[in-house]
Structure 1
Amino acid sequence: MHLTASATNAFASIIANVPNPSGEQPPGMDEINTILDWAFWLGLAACVAGLIAGGALMAIQSRRGEGSEHAGRIAMACIGAVVIGAASMLIGALA
């Protein structure tokens, strides 16, 4: 029991001494933000292209009974769009 209490106290003192940085961005972040914005929009464009391609292939191959094979592609494109859209919120929650 004594070991647990001392470990808890040590952990609490470490947490208390963690620095809290200010919200000021370092110099040069404007260029990085521009690159991240472009990556965001390119990623979403790729997801839209994936949805279009998956839907087109499903429509073309549905006549032969193979249309359901592309449902996985459509699902992955939708999941990718959700991950891209929530990326900044996920990183903000982890930081």
Structure 2
Amino acid sequence: MSLLVTALDVLTNVPTGIPDPEPVAPPGAEGPVAVLLSWAKWLGLIAAVVGIIIIAIKIAINVRRGEAAGELGGLLYIAIACILVGSAVSLVGFISGA
């Protein structure tokens, strides 16, 4: 019985003793990392705009054939990608608990 009590004591006391520091960027990394992330976000949004234009062209071509409904799924994927690119920082912060 003493082993069970010890295991329970370890499981209840160890998680409270683990520190949870705030995430801090290393010194000197704020500038270059922020630039790279902003470029990646900008490129992602540009790719999404190009994707929307391509889907619009495909819809315009296929509407004459009566097959335009098949392209709407691609538009949905691009809309989801735009939402993910735009909310990436908030989404990662929520998932990591920061």
TM-score of the alignment, normalized to the shorter chain, above 0.5: yes
SS at match of 2:63: helix
* Matched residue, 2:65: 64
Letter in 2 for 1:67: A
- SS across alignment from 2:87: helix
Moved over 3 A (4+): 9-12
Where does residue 75 of structure 1 map in the other structure? 76
Displacement of 1:20: 2.7
Q: How many residues matched?
A: 93
* Partner Cα separation in structure 2 for residue 22 and residue 81 of structure 1: 29
SS of equivalent to 1:55: helix
User: Relative to structure 2, which stretch is displaced further, 13-22 or 52-61?
Assistant: 13-22
2:45 alignment counterpart: 44
- TM-score w.r.t. the length of structure 1 is 0.80
Using a 3 Å threshold, how does the CA distance of structure 1 residues 72 and 92 change in structure 2: closer, same or farther?
A: same
Alpha-carbon separation, structure 2, partners of 1:68 and 1:78 = 16
Unaligned runs of 5+ in 2: none
Where does residue 14 of structure 1 map in the other structure?
Answer: 14
| Larger relative contact order, structure 1 or 2 (CA cutoff 8 Å, min sep 6) | 2
For residue 93 of structure 2, give the secondary structure of its aligned residue in structure 1.
Answer: helix
Whole-Å separation in 1 of the counterparts to 2:11 and 2:52? 48
Instruction: Give the SS at the match of 1:63.
Output: coil
% identity of equivalent residues: 31
Structure 1's 16 and 80: CA in aligned 2 closer, same or farther, altered over 3 A?
same
- 1:85 shift after superposition: 1.3
Q: What is the RMSD of the two structures over their aligned residues, measured on CA atoms?
A: 2.4
Q: Report the more deviating stretch, 14-23 or 63-72.
A: 14-23
